[in-house]
């Protein structure tokens, strides 16, 4: 029997290779289009989901996994693990964390022999993925549950995400800005740069062109990490070719100890739209300028 099993939601944007390597159990979120429900990762690919979003945004919606989905994962893993650590995206973004917690409370009654912990990553996308990876690697190193959580918390405190949106047009779906503001911003052609801090998304600037926006994101990363060795993931929303170009720039300009490309979840892409390009990263030292 394994000592600890790791559960994560599909919005962590991990690659299938990583999931298989570390035995991470992914609980998929749902995409609803034209009366049909698609489980992210299971029933539909990321690129297929973005095609649906582009075809008719009005018929494209999303929903969090249900408590039953998480309970199914807990039951499945309880047969081979004494402890289960479930890591979710920020509770401020979605009901995913609440669903995982409700399932935990139910599982405590039905699976008293299994110890389950639910951890809010306080972030999302590949930044959440880095927290999940840190936990999975700590498990692989033989650490106990308290140590695994400590490692995950350490990465949670250090990981940073910056993303360049192709358009502000869809941002009103988040409820944070009025639709008219999104439409005006789209008409002006500005490309917002967002980050995640304090468990929520924030605008940190705008760029008039995509090239300038990418350069700004790289500058923001440089201000954060300096010359320290860095773990990096390039994120993209159906923009793989541009992601590879950004990958080349990052590899040339930074000391990368880990580097991977992540497909930005359509669950979040519903708000950001296609074409998003960004970086998430952290250093092992944790000594970079927090004000950057």
Strands, E assignment, 10-75: 25-27, 30-33, 36-39, 60-63
Domain residue spans of the chain:
2-29+64-157, 160-283
61 CA to centre of own chain: 18
- pLDDT confidence of residue 9: 97
pLDDT at 178: 41
Chain centroid, CA 128 distance in Å: 5
Annotate 263-292 with three-state secondary structure.
ECCHHHHHHHCCCCEEEEEEECCCCCCCCC
The crossing angle, in degrees rounded to 10, of helices 145-158 and 125-140 is 150
Give the pLDDT of residue 168.
65
CATH of the structural domain 2-29+64-157, one choice from 2.60.120.1360, 3.30.1490.20, 3.40.50.1370, 3.40.50.10440? 3.40.50.10440
Who's near 215: CB < 8 A, 6+ residues apart?
none
C-alpha 96, offset from chain centre: 12
Q: What angle do CA 79, 82, 87 make, to 5 degrees?
A: 95
Strand partners, 63: 30
C-alpha angle 41-47-48 in degrees, rounded to nearest 5: 80
Burial environment of residue 78 by CB neighbours within 10 A (0 to 12, 13 to 18, 19 or more): buried
**DSSP codes joined into one string, 142-175:** T--HHHHHHHHHHHHHH-EEEEE-S-STTGGGGT
Distance of CA 103 to the CA centre of its chain: 21
Contact 238, 46 (CB under 8 A): yes
- Residue 172 has a pLDDT of 46
pLDDT at residue 292, as a whole number: 31
Fold of domain 160-283: Hypothetical Protein Tm841; Chain: A;domain 3 (3.30.1180)
CA distance linking residue 88 with residue 7, whole number of Å: 8
First to last CA, the chain: 45
**pTM for this structure?**
0.90
DSSP letters of 58-127? GGEEEEPPPHHHHHHHHHHHHTTEEEEEEEES-TTT-SHHHHHHHHHHHHHHH-TTSEEEEEE-SS-HHH
pLDDT for 166: 80
What is residue 95's predicted lDDT score, i.e. its pLDDT?
A: 93
* pLDDT (0 to 100) of residue 175: 52
pLDDT tens for the 292 residues of the chain, in order: 568 999 999 999 999 999 999 999 999 999 999 889 999 989 999 989 999 988 888 888 999 999 999 999 999 999 999 999 999 999 988 899 999 999 999 999 999 999 999 999 999 999 999 999 999 999 999 999 999 999 999 999 999 999 998 866 555 455 544 443 344 345 456 788 889 877 777 888 888 899 999 999 999 999 999 999 999 999 999 999 999 999 999 999 999 999 999 999 998 887 777 889 999 999 997 433 333 3
């Amino acid at each position: 029997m394994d000592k600890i099993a790791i559960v994560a939601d599909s919005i962590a944007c991990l690659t299938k290779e990583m999931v298989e390597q570390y035995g991470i159990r992914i609980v998929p979120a749902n995409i609803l289009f034209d009366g049909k429900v698609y489980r992210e990762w299971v029933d539909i690919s990321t690129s297929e989901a973005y095609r649906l979003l582009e075809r008719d945004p009005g018929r494209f919606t999303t929903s969090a996994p249900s408590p039953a989905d998480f309970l199914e994962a807990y039951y499945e893993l309880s047969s081979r693990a004494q402890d289960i650590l479930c890591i979710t995206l920020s509770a401020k973004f979605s009901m995913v964390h609440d669903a995982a917690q409700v399932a935990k409370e139910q599982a405590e009654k039905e699976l008293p022999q299994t110890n389950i912990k639910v951890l809010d990553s306080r972030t999302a996308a590949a930044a959440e993925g880095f927290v999940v990876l840190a936990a999975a690697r700590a498990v692989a190193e033989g650490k106990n549950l308290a140590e695994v959580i400590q490692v995950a918390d350490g990465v949670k405190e250090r990981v940073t995400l910056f993303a360049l949106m192709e358009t502000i047009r869809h941002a009103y779906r988040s409820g944070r800005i009025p639709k008219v503001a999104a439409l005006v911003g789209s008409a002006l052609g500005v490309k917002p740069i967002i980050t995640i801090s304090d468990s929520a998304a924030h605008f940190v600037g705008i760029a008039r062109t995509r090239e300038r926006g990418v350069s700004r994101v790289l500058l923001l990363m440089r201000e954060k990490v300096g010359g320290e060795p860095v773990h990096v993931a390039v994120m993209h929303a159906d923009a793989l070719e541009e992601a590879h170009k950004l990958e080349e720039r990052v590899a040339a300009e930074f000391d990368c100890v880990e580097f991977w490309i992540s497909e930005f979840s359509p669950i979040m892409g519903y708000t950001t739209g296609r074409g998003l390009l960004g970086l998430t990263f952290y250093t092992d030292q944790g000594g970079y300028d927090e004000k950057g």
